[in-house]
Amino acid sequence: MIYKSKQGDLDLSKLTRLYPAVIVDMHGEVAEMSLEWVELYGEKVKLVSYILVFDFAPLHEDEKNRVTLSHETKEELIATMTEVAKFF
């Protein structure tokens, strides 16, 4: 199952986690937060981008092996999520 993304081909058969999130700027500190969090507290921070995180690291290990696709709008994020969902 290969998903062709802007950042290259992603082998979804090796995926361990897949989740949407947002990047926010909190007074100069940049952080990754959940979509639910930004719905509750989004007016207090600057939303930088919506992201879809493909994590290929083995579960319960500290290894980082992630690919993050960035989107300007929530609608773009949802469109990508819909495309990826067709593989499952």
pLDDT band at 64 (very low <50, low <70, confident <90, very high): confident
pLDDT band at 8 (very low <50, low <70, confident <90, very high): very high
Q: Is the pLDDT of residue 77 over 90?
A: yes
Run of H or E residues at 19: strand 17-26
20-46 pLDDT, tens digit per residue, is 999 999 889 999 999 999 999 888 889
Q: 40 and 66 in contact (C-beta within 8 Å)?
A: no
Tokens of 48: 């930088």
Going by the DSSP 8-state scheme, the letter that residue 58 receives in this structure is P
